Structure 1
Amino acid sequence: MNTSARKKAHDNLSDQQHKNIAFFSTRSYEHALFSELLETLNGASDKTINATFFEHPLNASTAASCSGFSDVVVFVNDDINRKTIEALKLCGVKHIALRCAGFNNVDVDAAAKAGITVSRVPAYSPETVAEHTIALILTLNRKTHKAYNRVREGNFNLGGLMGFTLHGKTVGVIGTGKIGQAVIRILLGFGCHVLCFDPHPNNDVTTMGAHYVTLNELLEKSVIVTLHCPLNEQSHHIINAKSIDKMPQGVMLINTSRGGLVDDNAIIKGLKSKKIGYLGLDVYERESELFFNDHSQDIIQDDIFQRLTTFPNVLITGHQGFFTLEALEEIAKITVNNIMTGENAL
């Protein structure tokens, strides 16, 4: 964190009372970043923030452990439903700070009724997720993951590794927020024709050279479709059997946004029929039971996820699109600032 950012956070802290914060679903890399930031703030002020880090998630069963904490910091797979919020209220929690952009795992209405503020990190290095999106596209297309394994085994046969040239291809971007726009800039740099769909068009997108169309037209004309929209009632399973049927044969589908945007059963049928020629996922609808943990010694009970991994044209990463040093530092800075100032409240 740079000097100006530390000073701003310190200035915000100086006006606050003593705070006890509980972090949930915390991994070692997050623990280190937040601890360093909080140590700097505490060392520069006569006020202190006491932080407790838990590896387990926050949900209705674990919320009772929050007594004595003024704020809780949660991540994408913590389950902040009505029962969780009721328990947090009884514990005296006043603020739920999401260290992520999405908030579909929080009952915002229940939190408002309970008098608990909810904040999030609306934008953090959008290029980070955009670059991971392009990495999935290029890896699936040019099959570099398969080529890597072949060469290590001394196999230099190119059979089965043929890809296609991105230049001149039509790519559909669903959702044109900050991440969507970052993806569009990269795709335009490759020389792609970019079609966009968003209920709220942005003039910056058209200025860049992309074109807004209806969702149906985007699905019908795009050889690659990539998702960058929030998960809500309108977007839930926006990719389903009907939308897949509109896509060209052999389409590439990429999702680095939220797992619930796609209907997994429809995706599997699309893969089996070869309607979907390539599938890249960094998110999964039931990822809370899988991602961010080591299950290498376990028998995974999710049959749909296991089925997806059997397809040779499917590439899945474990929600790592956000995972760069720059993004994590930005997330930590904004999260702490939200706690101290009440900014980015929903």
Structure 2
Amino acid sequence: MEFLAYGVLADERALLQEAVRAEFGTAHTVRPLDVFLNRDTVPTAAGYDTVLTGVNDELDAEVLRALAAGGTRFVAQRSTGFNNIDLDAARDHGIAVARVAHYSPYSVAEFAWTLALAVNRRVVRSAIRTRDFDFRLDGLLGRDFHGRTAGVLGTGKIGAAFARIAHGFGMRLLGSDVRQSPQCLALGMEYVSPDRLFAESDLLSLHAPLLPETHHVVDAAALARMKDDAVLVNSSRGGLIDTDALVETLRAGRLDGVGLDVYEEEAGVFHHDKSLEVMTDDTLARLMTFSNVIVSSHQAYFTKDAVGQIMAATAANVADHLAGRAGENFLVA
């Protein structure tokens, strides 16, 4: 049997094929496509029992209806997030869905720190200057994170890994989550209300899932509570931040820096080449104008270690489907 994989990036292709070979040998193969799944491309899935998707694929009711009509019975999502999939529609059309619940938390935690340090020490601005042989230090003044307060919103595996790095920097740790992490408590983390977290953090990093109760958890009111010179990092889900409110906060000259690896309207933009097009998203365009903001293209997970684990888990999910098992990663069995 051949599986069809949508939105496979160039650096992912070999890792995906290797994972399928490791799981199935020569019994099954995968056909990687660089196009994303949507209403225009869904006809290409006709005849495929199993399709592999990512966070930038569109699996709404119409796409799922077309998949089912073409014979698809299983969607294997190559990510932890699945807010791009209409699970109710999948269930109605008899399509099982699985995701990758866990992969290297260090990939995302380390990248969150990459953003925090790059913003704080003005690394991008400095690199651009030195390319033009401008070696002045004007406007590049940062500050020590040592001795300051790191706030972690969401202290699961990734949040805990972020906190361990913060502890290594010698930072005071604050956390907010519905469940307290024993690992974070052992580091000396104090769990506080979201209001205190926003108010007291010098560095606030978001590691919460996107749920109805966390949508725009960082809204205008939360941003107003933050210190004027705080650093905000989001490597989790774009919808955690009200981006319009963030733009207004930055326009007011508040926040020392912002590092965003995700954006609430990133679908159809991130992981695409838009360099020859007019940017029609005014909010994203305005974000790019702030010299203290770094926007990366949802790449925090993008290490050989993490992607390899994601591909291996995806192949294992496919094996469960073919064997008639509903593994722990299944969202719709």
What TM-score do you get using the length of structure 2 for normalisation? 0.93
The root-mean-square deviation of aligned C-alpha atoms, in Å, is: 1.6
Matched residue type, 1:330:
Q
> Among 310, 314, 321, which residue is 2:293 paired with?
314
> Among 9, 12, 18, which residue is 1:27 paired with?
9
Q: CA deviation at 1:74?
A: 0.6
> Among 180, 185, 200, which residue is 2:159 paired with?
180
Aligned to 2:80: 101
Distance 1:161 1:53 in 2: 44
Q: CA deviation at 1:221?
A: 0.7
Matched residue type, 1:318:
S
> Among 272, 275, 293, which residue is 1:296 paired with?
275
Matched residue type, 1:283:
V
- Sort the Cα spacing of 1:152 and 1:65 in 2 relative to 1 into closer, same or farther, 3 A: closer
What TM-score do you get using the length of structure 1 for normalisation? 0.90
Distance 2:145 2:155 in 1: 20
SS of residue in 2 equivalent to 1:179 = helix
Distance 2:142 2:200 in 1: 19
> Among 197, 202, 206, which residue is 1:218 paired with?
197
What does the per-residue CA deviation read over 1:213-232, in whole Å, with 9 as the maximum and x for residues that have no partner?
11111011111111111111
SS of residue in 1 equivalent to 2:256 = strand
Are 1:152 and 2:131 counterparts? Answer: yes
- Sort the Cα spacing of 1:222 and 1:69 in 2 relative to 1 into closer, same or farther, 3 A: same
Q: CA deviation at 1:297?
A: 2.1
Aligned to 2:323: none
Matched residue type, 1:103:
F
Aligned to 2:302: 323
> Among 202, 224, 243, which residue is 1:264 paired with?
243
Mapping of residues 89-168 of structure 1, within 5 Å: 89-168=68-147
Mapping of residues 185-196 of structure 1, within 5 Å: 185-196=164-175
Distance 1:102 1:298 in 2: 28
Q: CA deviation at 1:170?
A: 0.8
Q: CA deviation at 1:294?
A: 1.9
What does the per-residue CA deviation read over 1:55-106, in whole Å, with 9 as the maximum and x for residues that have no partner?
2211233323322111111111111112222222222212111111111111
- Among all aligned residue pairs of Structure 1 and Structure 2, give the percentage whose two residues are the same amino acid: 36
Say if 2:154 and 2:176, in contact at 8 Å, map to a contact too.
yes
Say if 1:61 and 1:84, in contact at 8 Å, map to a contact too.
no
What does the per-residue CA deviation read over 1:178-215, in whole Å, with 9 as the maximum and x for residues that have no partner?
11111011001101111111122222321222121111
Say if 2:6 and 2:34, in contact at 8 Å, map to a contact too.
yes
Q: CA deviation at 1:40?
A: 4.8
Say if 2:121 and 2:141, in contact at 8 Å, map to a contact too.
yes
User: Between Structure 1 and Structure 2, how many residues are aligned?
Assistant: 325
Say if 2:19 and 2:308, in contact at 8 Å, map to a contact too.
no
Are 1:79 and 2:64 counterparts? Answer: no
Q: CA deviation at 1:41?
A: 4.8
What does the per-residue CA deviation read over 1:292-324, in whole Å, with 9 as the maximum and x for residues that have no partner?
122222222211111110011111111111111
Matched residue type, 1:246:
R
Greater shift after overlay, 262-271 or 323-332?
323-332
Are 1:62 and 2:41 counterparts? Answer: yes
